């Protein structure tokens, strides 16, 4: 009688342990997947920011803008490009879970584009029918939209990671390991209506 009780208890404990092990491994894998999603979204954002800065620089150098506007855009675009080459996200120790403090530079580029390219100026530039100018305007607009999309999707992925990481089981068993807690990326990316793709 006693023997049977011990056997039952052992079986029960083993089953509970297996279930717990499954749950923890499953949660860890899920967290891993969510971290990977954040990293992917961050790299999409990074790529579009580079394209936006390159297109803006090309527009500034096209000669179609007045020298003041051109210099303003060129300055902001170069600052953005410098930051990306100095700190490529692929070499980021934090595995693409952080934006590396680039928010200010990107906000500045948005502000410069908005200041130098109000709707009537854009209409005037498009009316020139210069292929290079139209093309770089289109590319600024297209990458500007994609920056907004990528940032929105990235921040949503961050929210999901943070929600799972706030769970008690995840905190207690340290399921996140040494992965950095991803932060939402917040900068001004609102381009004027005429530059809306």
Q: How far apart are CA 103 and CA 100, in angstroms?
A: 8
Residue partners of 68: CB distance under 8 A and separation at least 6:
none
Which residue, 75 or 160, is less far from other proteins as judged by CB? Answer: 160
Structure tokens at 136: 């770089």
Q: For the packed helices 103-116 and 131-165, what is the interaxial angle rounded to 10 degrees?
A: 150
Q: How far is the CB of 71 from other proteins (least distance, A)?
A: 30
Q: How far apart are CA 79 and CA 53, in angstroms?
A: 9
Q: How far is the CB of 35 from other proteins (least distance, A)?
A: 9
Among 72, 75, 83, 74, residue whose Cα is nearest residue 46: 83
Q: Is 27 exposed, middle or buried (0-12, 13-18, 19+ CB in 10 A)?
A: middle
Which residue, 64 or 151, is less far from other proteins as judged by CB? Answer: 151
Which residue, 63 or 118, is less far from other proteins as judged by CB? Answer: 118
Which residue, 70 or 102, is less far from other proteins as judged by CB? Answer: 102
Q: How far is the CB of 25 from other proteins (least distance, A)?
A: 4
Q: How far is the CB of 6 from other proteins (least distance, A)?
A: 28
Q: Which positions lie near other proteins, rule CB under 8 A? A: 22, 25-26, 29-30, 32-34, 36-37, 39-44, 47-48, 95, 142, 145-146, 148-150, 152-157, 159-160, 163, 197
Q: How far is the CB of 39 from other proteins (least distance, A)?
A: 6
- Strand extents, DSSP E, 8-135: none
Which residue, 47 or 79, is less far from other proteins as judged by CB? Answer: 47
């Amino acid at each position: 009688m006693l023997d049977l009780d011990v056997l039952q208890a052992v079986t029960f404990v083993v089953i509970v342990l297996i279930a717990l092990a499954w749950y923890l491994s499953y949660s860890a894998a899920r967290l891993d997947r969510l971290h990977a999603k954040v990293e992917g979204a961050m790299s999409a954002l990074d790529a579009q920011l580079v394209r936006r800065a390159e297109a803006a620089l090309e527009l500034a150098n096209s000669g179609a803008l007045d020298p003041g506007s051109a210099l303003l855009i060129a300055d902001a675009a170069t600052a953005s490009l410098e930051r990306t080459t100095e700190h490529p996200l692929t070499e980021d120790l934090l595995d693409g879970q952080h934006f590396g403090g680039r928010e200010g530079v990107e906000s500045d580029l948005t502000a410069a584009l908005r200041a130098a390219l109000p709707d009537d100026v854009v209409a005037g530039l498009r009316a020139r029918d210069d292929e290079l100018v139209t093309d770089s305007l289109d590319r600024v607009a297209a990458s500007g939209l994609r920056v907004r999309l990528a940032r929105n999707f990235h921040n949503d992925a961050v929210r999901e990671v943070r929600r799972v990481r706030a769970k008690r089981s995840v905190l207690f068993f340290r399921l996140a390991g040494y992965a950095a807690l991803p932060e939402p990326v917040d900068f001004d990316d609102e381009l004027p209506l005429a530059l809306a793709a």
